[in-house]
Amino acid sequence: MSTRDTIVAISTPPGAGGLGVVRLSGSDARSVAEGLLRFAGGVEWKPWTAALAELLDEAGNTVDQVVVTYFAAPRSYTAEDVVEIACHGSPVVLRHCVARAMHGGARPAEPGEFTLRAYLNGRIDLPQAEAVHDLIAATTLHQARIAAQQMEGSVSRAIAPLKAQLVELIALLEAGIDFAEDDVSVASSEQILGRIRPISLGLSKLVDSFRFGKLVHDGLTLAVVGRPNVGKSSLFNALLQRDRAIVTDIPGTTRDTVSEIFALEGIPVRLVDTAGIRASVDVVEKLGIERSFQAMADADITIVVIDLAREVEEEDRQLLRRAGGQGLHIVVGNKADLVADVPGDLELLPVSAKTGQGIEELRRRLITLIAPDGFASPQAGLITSVRHELLLKESLESLQRTVNAIDFGLPHEMLLLDCYAALRPLDALTGATTADDILNHIFSTFCIGK
């Protein structure tokens, strides 16, 4: 793949629509566009200005009337000359536009190549490039907001000062080793530890944010379980706020799992309604019950539903013990509208799927289970990528090895190896630190050679 080529692609989703956009990027973007367009007042490329033009076929006949926008380098998405041609959204017209651009010297863009060029040209860094994909794939507004913050550099801004402190430490150690004869003092163990602590603390906070960030990025699974006819499907519909599961008075109506996605405070949740769990000889019902147990095992949180209008039976208690042994769960007493009191020996939330009583409180408790410390601010540099978490952990481990080396009294040359090992994962996140960066810091900070 050559980054010097001019590339072209359809930037809008497949299918017919009101508008469709064809994007060109590269040094020849304007000349390629001129070969397939006819401007009403002649060609006049004004940066960041839209102009009306006609899209032509090979014989010079008009195919479509289009709006052309020109973004001059480096103030464009790719930091190259970019031309966007907004056609009417006919797939035939869009394909013709791309074919004419290719005939004029452009080549088809590879998947993600516009964003790749933005990264290679220094327009964005890697976390921002990854956030582009997350924003496109967002299924909730909260996901979109966090991805937008990351596109604006929230992750990079959180890492940058920590990386700068680490570079300062490396420069201090390098100077003490290489320029001791020039009256540059060798840093003491206390000084080095004092510099490492805030770096480790900052990296640890970012790693800890991944627990919530992973939920925002990937969502979670919530399983609704209970004995037959306790109101699982009614509760399922109440949480979704629409009728999705079939509800009847006949026990065992649900024979298989039913799932649907909904947003809980911006977090995508896969809600699973399950078959009623009881002793059964019916082959089909037994298969459904097995899937209910599997749904419990796979779920991040289980809602165990108890029927308050009936006595709590041993099957209910067995289910509660099973849910307790598998992780996070909430016990819900349904049909609270039919009873005056709730069982005193069970810690449960009384709700009525029929009237809506307690449903909002159930949502609040779910949110507390999901994020006990509250919702992290995207501006704080929320980590949502597994790759980012692993790199930050790798950096932390190297810093801990540096601390261990200090405890063992190892020379600064050995400390430097671990410091550089801590820097490399951060470089993989935000971009490489060169030897010149270190040397420039040494000479600008220590006034060597006066």
Tokens describing residue 35: 């070969």
- Mean local confidence (pLDDT), 55-71: 94
Candidate from 31-45, 148-162, 339-353 with smallest mean pLDDT: 339-353
Confidence of residue 272 (pLDDT cuts 50, 70, 90): confident
| % of the chain with per-residue pLDDT over 90 | 34
How far is the C-alpha of 25 from the C-alpha of 71, rounded, in Å? 9
Q: Is 137 helix (H, G, I), strand (E, B) or coil?
A: helix
Instruction: Classify residue 346 by its DSSP letter.
Output: S
Domains of the chain (ranges; CATH) run 7-119 (3.30.1360.120), 154-209+381-446 (1.20.120.430), 218-370 (3.40.50.300)
pLDDT digits (tens, 9 = 90+) for 340-392: 676 666 788 888 888 888 889 998 888 888 876 665 555 567 888 888 999 99
pLDDT digits (tens, 9 = 90+) for 90-110: 999 999 999 999 999 999 999
pLDDT digits (tens, 9 = 90+) for 170-206: 888 887 776 555 554 567 888 899 999 999 999 999 9
Is the pLDDT at 286 greater than 80? The verdict is no
At what angle are helices 154-178 and 435-446 packed, to 10 degrees? Answer: 70
- Mean local confidence (pLDDT), 317-323: 83
> Is residue 385 within 8 Å of residue 217, measured between CB atoms?
yes
The mean pLDDT of the chain is: 83
Looking up tokens 């600008």 gives 444
| Residues sharing a CB contact under 8 Å with residue 165, sequence separation 6 or more, in sequence order | 195, 198, 199
- Mean local confidence (pLDDT), 113-124: 90
Q: Say which residue, 261 or 399, is predicted with more confidence.
A: 399
Confidence of residue 14 (pLDDT cuts 50, 70, 90): confident
Tell me, what's the pLDDT at 377?
53
| % of the chain with per-residue pLDDT over 70 | 84
pLDDT digits (tens, 9 = 90+) for 225-245: 888 888 888 888 888 876 665
Give the neighbor-by-neighbor strand order of the sheet with 349-350.
Answer: 258-264, 267-273, 220-226, 301-307, 329-334, 349-350
Among the listed residues 149, 298, 128, the one whose alpha carbon sits nearest the alpha carbon of residue 225: 298
Tell me, what's the pLDDT at 179?
56
Statement: the pTM of the whole predicted model exceeds 0.85: no
Tokens describing residue 372: 């006990």
